[in-house]
Amino acid sequence: MTARQPLALGNWKMNGDMVANEQLMSGLLESSAGLLSAGGLQAGFAVPAPYLFQAAVRLKGTGFLWGAQDCSDQPKGAFTGEVSTAMLQDFEVNFCLVGHSERRARHQETDAQIAAKLQALLSANILPVLCVGESLAQREAGQAAEVVCGQVKAALKGLSADQLTRLAVAYEPIWAIGTGKTASADDAQAMHAQIRGALAGLHPQVANQVRILYGGSVKASNSQELFAQPDIDGGLVGGASLDMADMSGILQAAHQRAGRLGLL
């Protein structure tokens, strides 16, 4: 089996401006572009849509990926405020988050809409990063695995084995997002193994190829332990991705995982 290439993605959410983005990107290029040149890991940023052009210009040819935080499930037309996958292609976007819990909660995104967005991204050859995760109430009620695997199956059912290899999943327990609370490495690993089981239920022959990222208060200080787990293939990083030093440390941890997997 070929090892899964570690993937560390920042999610800037609704933060940044032209000046701050430039400082963050140039700082990270200086500290970490060398880690990417060996080809053992992938890293990038999901930026607010107005800054896709800035990210594309700044990051093209550097090894860093750039992505969007959401897309429309519709190709074009009267959908005020939405951004199509064709528009993302214009900015050579590499990946796009889908079903982030902030969008599920604030915009009432349904499993059906998330599945349709995912299809649109696959058709546009943009890597979808499907975000799934349970609330604290669901975890305390012992429903975490059922909820998370249910979200995975609802979004991915009907995809071919080949399509499954062209996406990533991010497990982001809602209670850990932006709260400073992180799932323990053991708990996160246990859920990642369950997600991989759900993927195997869809297409057993490729489940081992799909990258499953952990998200929820990932920082430089906890990334080593998280990325040492067998099924944690990297991270989706919110708050810490806005801090140059923290994100550099997280990229170091992903690089070390690539080394342990023999990818460097």
Q: Report, as residue numbers or ranges, the catalytic residues.
A: 100, 172
Are 48 and 14 in contact by the 8 Å Cβ rule? The answer is yes
The most distant pair of C-alpha atoms in the chain lies apart, rounded to whole Å, by: 49
Could you tell me which stretch among 28-36, 47-55, 215-223, 250-258 binds ligand PEP (CB under 6 A)? 215-223
Question: Does the footprint of ligand PEP cover residue 177 (CB under 6 A)?
Answer: yes
Residue 166: partners with Cβ closer than 8 Å, 6 or more residues away: 122, 127
What is the rounded CA–CA span in Å between residue 149 and residue 153?
A: 6
- The whole-angstrom separation of Cα 112 and Cα 50 is 27
From 53-61, 74-82, 112-120, 235-243, give the range in contact with ligand PEP by CB under 6 A: 235-243
> Nearer Cβ to ligand PEP, position 202 or 242?
242
Query: What is the number of the residue whose Cβ is closest to ligand PEP?
Result: 238
Site string for ligand PEP, 137-176 (x = CB under 6 A): -----------------------------------x----
| Total residues found in the chain within this entry | 264
Q: How far is the CB of 9 from ligand PEP (least distance, A)?
A: 9
Q: Which residue has the tokens 């939405």?
A: 82
- If we measure between CA atoms, which residue out of 150, 148, 152 comes closest to residue 164? 152
The residue (of 52 and 242) whose beta carbon lies closer to ligand PEP is 242
Q: Which residues are near ligand PEP by CB under 6 A?
A: 11, 172, 177-178, 215-218, 236-240
